[in-house]
Each structure stands twice: as structure tokens, then as C-alpha cells.
Amino acid sequence: MNPTRLLDRAWAAVASIALIAIWLGGAMLFVASGIVTAEVVLRKGLGALFGWSFVFSGSDEISSYLFAVGTSWSMTYVLVMRGHVRIDVLYGRFGLRTRAILDLVAMLALLVFVGALAERSWDVAITSINDQIRSNTPLRIPLAWAQVPWFGGIALFTFALALSVLRTLLALLHGDFAAAYAIAGAATQDEEIENELQGLGLGAKKAASER
């Protein structure tokens, strides 16, 4: 099979998984914020009003687990949408070829960092599993329950980064700098606006009105 087609199919699969992951990750963040909000309202609101004592044992602990897992599960989708923040003061002044090379260098640097992060997060998770480590709180939650899915999000991000590097490198070897930019380049302001409109379901309406 053509390497480019194989990588594109793998990328499409990763993008589909990332879309599901970010929905789940967003749901976790909402649950985490709901737990904290309920605890604060009951403790500072009703508790202060009626003199009652409301304490959600482990509310901070549970919300922190949900926040960590939800964040790691969201990173791949940001990569797919080319939404990572970059310092682009000079970037836009360069030609397409130079920008494509800089994009590849940026992806490689990020891959090295995230690869090290994935290795460390796996070591933390597997240690918690083997030693049956629990949280040092009244809940005594097995830490692996949060650390394994947290590692899963980082591992998916690492795999997606590796795919992005390979696709960008292959495009550069073929001299297709436009394709390399489309894969790894920083999204322009117009592209970000268009993505936001599509997310709101307005992209198709805008295109139809311009015809």
C-alpha cells in the first residue's frame, strides 16, 4: 500500500478517536466543576445560612483526577485541529518551504518531550498497579484508576504526534510544502474563525450566502 495513503488512513482513525476522547474529556471537566460547585454552594451557602456542616469527603481529590484525565484525553484533538499555541511573530513572514521545515522541527521537539512524558506516566501507572498504591486520603482510591486513563490520553497524543511527524516528513520529501503546512502548520486566523463557525454549525450557511 502507498505509505502516504496508509498514514492518512491511520490519521483519520486517530482523528475519529480524538473526537470521542475530547467529548468524554469535556464531560469529565463538567463533572469536576459540578462537584466543586456543589461543595462550595452547600458549604458556603446553605451551611453558612443555617449553620449546617456540609463536607464532601474527597471532592477535591475526585475533581483533580477528572481534570487530569479529561485534559490528557483532549490534547490529541487540539493537535488534529492544529490548535496549539505558537509564537508566530516571524513565522508568517517566512516562505512556505521555511515554514514547513520549522513546523517539522517544532513537531519533533514536541514529540521528544511528550515521549518522555509518556514513558514517565506509564512508569507511575504501572508502579501503582504493581504495588497497589492508594491515595493518602480518607477515600483510599487506587491511584491506578486515574493514572491508567491519564496515561492513555498521553499515549494517544504521542502516537498522533509521531504520525504527524511522519506525514509532514513524507510531504517534505515529495516537495509538497503546501501539504506539509496543512498537516503541521499553525492555523491562520481565518482558519480558526472558519473552524469556530463550523463548530457552531454556521460554516455551511456562510458558504451558501457567499455564492
Domain boundaries, the chain: 3-188
Segment 154-165 shows an average pLDDT of: 95
pLDDT at 162: 95
- Reported as a single tens digit per residue, the pLDDT across 55-94 is 556 778 888 899 999 999 999 999 998 877 766 677 778 8
User: Among 24, 135, 126, 121, which Cα is nearest to 71's?
Assistant: 24
Report which residue type is found at 163.
Answer: L
Segment 125-147 shows an average pLDDT of: 92
% of the chain surpassing 90 pLDDT: 45
Using CA atoms, how far apart are residues 169 and 38, in angstroms rounded to an integer? 49
Q: How much is the mean pLDDT over the chain?
A: 84
pLDDT at 189: 65
Listed ranges 44-53, 62-71, 84-93, 146-155; the one with the highest mean pLDDT: 146-155
pLDDT at 207: 46
Q: Is the pTM of this model over 0.85?
A: no
Using CA atoms, how far apart are residues 36 and 98, in angstroms rounded to an integer? 47
